[in-house]
Amino acid sequence: MTKTLIQGAQVLVENDSFADVSLLIEGDRIAAFLPKGETVTDAKPMDASGRIIIPGLVNGHTHSHGALARGGVPDDAILETFLSGSAWLNLGRSHDDLALCAQLSAVELIRKGCTACFDLFIELPGPTVEGTHAVAHAYHDVGLRAVVAPMIADQTIYQALPGLLDSFDGPLRNAVAAMTLPDWDSTMAICGEALRNWPVPMDRVRPGIGPTIPLHCSDPFLQRCAHLSADIDIPLQTHLAETRLQQVMAQRKFGTSLTEHLSALGILSPRFSGAHGVWLSDPEMALLAGAEAGISHNPMSNLRLGSGIAPLRRLTDAGVQTGIGTDASNTSDGQNMFEAMRLAATLSRAQTIDTAQWVRTTEAFDMATQGSARLLGFDKLGQIATGWAADLVFLDQTYCHYTPQRATLDQIVLAETGAAVREVMIAGQMVFAEDRILTLDETALRQRALAAAERITHANADARMMNAAAAEVVKGFCHRHCSANLP
Ligand SMILES: [Zn+2]
């Protein structure tokens, strides 16, 4: 087993306090804290003078397919016009494209200090074993820890939202009405095969399942997802109460809130997490807490799409497991966990003048590390502690963010952007150093990305026009219904 002794840095010990200690790494784990200056004869020494070492940030919710969709979402898009208007960006993608997206996303995450993510990736018209395994291999090869969850549904947005189709007329109505997704039985058969026969070691890259939005999934489909999650013990994540319209539509479609619906179907469990949770009522939070379920707070995307500001303090007070995520690079315009963590802390200050209710920097840091790690289902991840995963981010102590350095964790949470990230270690192995990802050729990756984006844009020109026209109708529908009364 390889041993490395990291010396000379300030280390954030157990997400609590900084200490000038050496870190002994054995294999993929943190083996011990040693006093400054102590040597270990069979360990390779690594000089980390001038570095602040923190645990790698963990992204509780993202979509790798967004990496090839940058700039494709109009700046006035809301979630529902994004879903209808930007669908063209995901059409006609090969398995290589899916892997390319995971690589692009992983590279940005690592460069910005993230060492693990929960990826709900989409393959259209439906998931395949090969596509799912291509994404898993991509993360494995780059070296990022990940949960790879096919994002699946059996209803298009036009089928999912009661009354939406009636807002359309003429040829456009015929076009959106003709859209379908594969039936859930065949989708689940493929997911079962893909996830049960996992192609890479599970220590770093694991399977998950991602029914996209409860409104877009029929009840037996959701139940089958939950059964698969329980059967092979994998995390399940869905977008939960991301917009107010989703709650309005849930009342019309199910006669209950979204979370009550999921609870009645038996979907909630410790393996369950909802992404966003912006529009959750107190009874819904109690259901989530009672099931030991979690929420990934994705503040940047909620701001970008005007979804709202999630009630993070109420969620933690209710006892809901909370993590933090970026969401996709099309709806958050990047994969910056430092930004997401900072927003988690600062947005709470815009919600109340009562400072006791604010999300403190220590809490935001915990959520962005071990909080998200719990949603991913990884044990002993998200802290620098003995026996925990050796997923470490090395920050440059001489960078302007820490000059002067008075309150290190506050400065990391409130100032860091990723600009001071100098090295990243995942599972005891360096994956980023000297401004270079060590596990792939970034220049070649960029060339492949540009070529794929051009091909996708060209091939989907007709779909893009149709999507844009449909999004206009969806926008009108949302404006008419999103303010409807909720119980
Ligand atoms: Zn999402």
Which of the residues in the chain have pLDDT under 70?
none
For the chain, count helices (H), then strands (E).
18, 19
What pLDDT is attached to residue 1? 86
Q: Kindly give the distance from the C-alpha atom of residue 301 to the centroid of ligand 1, in angstroms, as a whole number.
A: 8
Q: Kindly give the distance from the C-alpha atom of residue 62 to the centroid of ligand 1, in angstroms, as a whole number.
A: 6
Q: Kindly give the distance from the C-alpha atom of residue 413 to the centroid of ligand 1, in angstroms, as a whole number.
A: 23
What pLDDT is attached to residue 437? 98
Nearest to 108 by CA among 445, 413, 444: 445
| Cβ atoms of residues 209 and 234 within 8 Å | yes
Q: Kindly give the distance from the C-alpha atom of residue 332 to the centroid of ligand 1, in angstroms, as a whole number.
A: 10
Q: Kindly give the distance from the C-alpha atom of residue 57 to the centroid of ligand 1, in angstroms, as a whole number.
A: 18
Q: Kindly give the distance from the C-alpha atom of residue 52 to the centroid of ligand 1, in angstroms, as a whole number.
A: 31
Q: Kindly give the distance from the C-alpha atom of residue 238 to the centroid of ligand 1, in angstroms, as a whole number.
A: 8
Helix locations, 70-125, DSSP H: 79-85, 95-111
Q: Kindly give the distance from the C-alpha atom of residue 53 to the centroid of ligand 1, in angstroms, as a whole number.
A: 30
Q: Kindly give the distance from the C-alpha atom of residue 239 to the centroid of ligand 1, in angstroms, as a whole number.
A: 6
Q: Kindly give the distance from the C-alpha atom of residue 253 to the centroid of ligand 1, in angstroms, as a whole number.
A: 22
Q: Kindly give the distance from the C-alpha atom of residue 34 to the centroid of ligand 1, in angstroms, as a whole number.
A: 41
For 135-194, the pLDDT digits (tens) are 999 999 999 999 999 999 999 999 999 999 999 999 999 999 999 999 999 999 999 999
Calpha distance 226→230 (Å, rounded): 6
Calpha distance 1→191 (Å, rounded): 35
| Cβ atoms of residues 382 and 369 within 8 Å | yes
Q: Kindly give the distance from the C-alpha atom of residue 385 to the centroid of ligand 1, in angstroms, as a whole number.
A: 31
Nearest to 161 by CA among 96, 214, 91: 214
Q: Kindly give the distance from the C-alpha atom of residue 83 to the centroid of ligand 1, in angstroms, as a whole number.
A: 11
Q: Kindly give the distance from the C-alpha atom of residue 7 to the centroid of ligand 1, in angstroms, as a whole number.
A: 39
Q: Kindly give the distance from the C-alpha atom of residue 419 to the centroid of ligand 1, in angstroms, as a whole number.
A: 25
What are the residue boundaries of the structural domains of the chain, listed by start?
A: 57-381
Q: Kindly give the distance from the C-alpha atom of residue 121 to the centroid of ligand 1, in angstroms, as a whole number.
A: 9
Contacts of 315 (CB under 8 A, 6+ apart): 277, 280, 285, 295, 297, 322
Q: Kindly give the distance from the C-alpha atom of residue 327 to the centroid of ligand 1, in angstroms, as a whole number.
A: 5
Q: Is the peptide bond before 125 cis (omega within 30 degrees of 0)?
A: yes
Q: Kindly give the distance from the C-alpha atom of residue 305 to the centroid of ligand 1, in angstroms, as a whole number.
A: 11
Q: Kindly give the distance from the C-alpha atom of residue 60 to the centroid of ligand 1, in angstroms, as a whole number.
A: 10
Calpha distance 255→374 (Å, rounded): 31
pTM: 0.98
Calpha distance 461→478 (Å, rounded): 25
What pLDDT is attached to residue 291? 98
Q: Kindly give the distance from the C-alpha atom of residue 177 to the centroid of ligand 1, in angstroms, as a whole number.
A: 25
Q: Kindly give the distance from the C-alpha atom of residue 350 to the centroid of ligand 1, in angstroms, as a whole number.
A: 23
Q: Kindly give the distance from the C-alpha atom of residue 316 to the centroid of ligand 1, in angstroms, as a whole number.
A: 21
Q: Kindly give the distance from the C-alpha atom of residue 464 to the centroid of ligand 1, in angstroms, as a whole number.
A: 21
Strand residue runs (E) in 158-208: 205-207
User: What is the residue type of 99?
Assistant: A
Q: Kindly give the distance from the C-alpha atom of residue 240 to the centroid of ligand 1, in angstroms, as a whole number.
A: 10
Calpha distance 29→457 (Å, rounded): 44
Q: Kindly give the distance from the C-alpha atom of residue 65 to the centroid of ligand 1, in angstroms, as a whole number.
A: 11
Query: Residues whose CB is under 5 A from ligand 1 (ion)?
Result: 327
Q: Kindly give the distance from the C-alpha atom of residue 170 to the centroid of ligand 1, in angstroms, as a whole number.
A: 32
What is the topology classification, in CATH, of domain 57-381?
A: TIM Barrel (3.20.20)
C-beta atoms surrounding 14 within 10 Å? 15
Alpha carbons within 13 angstroms on the beta-carbon side of residue 405 total 16
Q: Kindly give the distance from the C-alpha atom of residue 487 to the centroid of ligand 1, in angstroms, as a whole number.
A: 26
Q: Kindly give the distance from the C-alpha atom of residue 54 to the centroid of ligand 1, in angstroms, as a whole number.
A: 26
Q: Kindly give the distance from the C-alpha atom of residue 232 to the centroid of ligand 1, in angstroms, as a whole number.
A: 24
